[in-house]
Amino acid sequence: MDRHILYGVRVICEKQPVDNPWIDHRWVIHDLLPQKWQAGDGAVPLGYVPLMPLHNAQADDGDGTLFMADIQIDLHHAEAEAYAENLQSSDPSIYIVLRPSADEDDEDDAVSEMMLVEVSLSPYTIQDYEDCGEDQVVKLPLAGPMAELATEFVETYFKPEKFVKRKRDKARIDELEIRGGDSRVKRTYQ
C-alpha cells in the first residue's frame, strides 16, 4: 500500500419533493458505489463536483430524479488516527458533504443546484463542515470493500503513541526560595 491513496466512488442522490412551506425539496443519498483505488501523486483530489442527472428526467420540474457525481476519497497516512477513531466508534461511517451551488441563477437542466463537496472517512475533517452549518453532512455506514481498505490502511500506518507518564525531578529547590508571607517577618530556613 502507498502512503497516499485515492479511492474513487460514485455518489447517487435523489431530489425528493417535500410538503413544507419553507422548502420544496430535500436531497437524499441513495448509495455510494466504490470504484477503484490508486496511489496518490501528492495532489489533492478535486472537490465541488456538480451533481449530474443519472438519466434524462421525464418530469418537467425534475423532482424525484436521481443524480450522481464521481469523486475521490483521499486516504492519507497523516490522518490514520482519524480513520482508526472512525473504525473503533460504535457507528463507523462514510461522511458525504453536499453544498448548494453558488450559481443559482444558472438555469441549466444538466446541472443541479447542489454540489458534492467531499467524501471522507475522517470524523475530524467533517467537524469543520458541521461547525459551518451551511452544508448538508450525510453519514452512511462504512462496510464492504471500503471498510476492508480502511482497516488495512489503519493497520499499516497508525502507530499509537505509547503513554509515558512524566516523572518529577528529585531535586528540592524549595529550600532556597522564600515563598509568600510578610517580608517584615524574619524566618530562618534550615
Separation of alpha carbons 26 and 15, rounded Å:
6
Q: What's the average model confidence in pLDDT over 3-25?
A: 86
Predicted local distance difference test score (pLDDT) of residue 91? 93
Separation of alpha carbons 97 and 55, rounded Å:
23
Q: What's the average model confidence in pLDDT over 129-147?
A: 88
Neighbours of 163 (CB within 10 A): 5
pLDDT in tens, 20-65: 888 888 888 988 888 877 776 666 667 788 888 887 555 445 556 8
Q: Write down the pTM of the prediction.
A: 0.74
pLDDT in tens, 77-109: 889 999 999 999 999 999 999 988 876 555 555
Q: What's the average model confidence in pLDDT over 164-187?
A: 70
CB 136 within 8 A of CB 99: yes
Residue 164 has pLDDT above 60, yes or no: yes
CB 83 within 8 A of CB 155: no
Residue 14 has pLDDT above 70, yes or no: yes
Place 7 in a pLDDT band, splitting at 50, 70 and 90: confident
Q: Is 43 exposed, middle or buried (0-12, 13-18, 19+ CB in 10 A)?
A: exposed
Predicted local distance difference test score (pLDDT) of residue 45? 65
Residue-averaged pLDDT of the chain: 81
